[in-house]
Amino acid sequence: MALPWAVWALVRGTGTDRGFPLVPALAFTPHAALTTVVPLAAAIRSGSRTGALLASGAGAVLGAAVLASRGRTGPVPAGGTKVRIATVSLRLGLVPAGSVLELVRRHAVDVLAVQELTPDAERRLTDAGLHRELPHSHVVPARPGSVVSASGAVWSRWPVTARGAAPGGFEQPTARLPTVGSPDLEVTAVHTRPPATSPAAVRGWTADLAALPSPAPDALRVLAGDFNATLHHAALRAVLARGYVDAARELGRGWAWTWRPLRLRFPRLTLDHVLVDPRAAVAGCAHVPVAGSDHRALVVDLVLPAH
């Protein structure tokens, strides 16, 4: 009875989650950690020392993985350029424009990364006045043959000096923004393909994560959006290993959920992230409900270093 939890702990601990169904299963590692009490109780009741050791060992490994968080790498500089970045998923373009405007206004967002945009949603955001709050934008429409909600966008309070896109199954626009007294800020609105349904879906998701840009010396790169991955996935940890910092984890909030089914309370998974060049200091991170979305928005405060 304890063997499934022991195998789960082995896969998580060694980072050997590959293929289907291991990859989608690993997203539920917090749930597996909580339920290790089931085989442990059964082993104690039956007097199985081996079962108790397996269950308790699995619980220790999984619990440590869930609770692991690291503190801030250094003090937040007092005089650096401050920027507030938010990421929001529009749920196939169905999130009301008013919900997005409320997020931007209430939290004084400087840069907004948007996933699951549609032409109709873009028109509604424009009609609602998003361009008055964030006048500069880079919108990449869905390519022919893709679902209409494959579009993505970056809206900014600051001018966009260069536009690009990260390769992937969905559109992932990249906008370069000049700052005062700091290196340029480069923000990518990330949206990887979900790995939930088949081996092909896992391969697409793996390729999307591997194709994300690495930190670069000439700009402060930020990857913000729906990675469809948790920190329990080795593929996401490989992106972090290139030199990025997960903003929520940096402040000890890497466990906080960002997605759940709209009409259900569970499951709750941490699929959205803001990955930051380590030269920028993470000063704050909030998980904000957005009416009509199945994702909570991430609002992250950064302090950029001086040149």
pLDDT in tens, 57-86: 999 999 999 988 655 555 666 668 999 999
Amino acid 69: pLDDT: 61
Amino acid letter for position 83: V
Amino acid 76: pLDDT: 67
Amino acid letter for position 73: T
Amino acid 72: pLDDT: 54
**Structural domains in the chain, sorted by start:** 3-67 (no CATH), 81-304 (3.60.10.10)
Q: How would DSSP label each residue in 18-81?
A: -STTHHHHHTTHHHHHHTTHHHHHHHHHHT-HHHHHHHHHHHHHHHHHHH-----SSPPPSSSE
- Residue 214 — pLDDT band, cuts 50, 70, 90? very high
Q: Report, as an integer, the average pLDDT of 35-52.
A: 94
Q: Report, as an integer, the average pLDDT of 294-304.
A: 97
Q: Report, as an integer, the average pLDDT of 293-303.
A: 98
Task: State how far the alpha carbon of 279 is from the alpha carbons of 97, 156, 208, 244, in Å.
Answer: 34, 21, 25, 9
User: Side-chain half-sphere of 79: how many Cα atoms within 13 Å?
Assistant: 3
Amino acid 180: pLDDT: 82
> Inter-axis angle of helices 3-14 and 49-67, to 10 degrees?
40
Quick one: 49 exposed, middle or buried, by C-beta within 10 A (0-12, 13-18, 19+)? exposed
- Residue 236 — pLDDT band, cuts 50, 70, 90? very high
Amino acid 17: pLDDT: 96
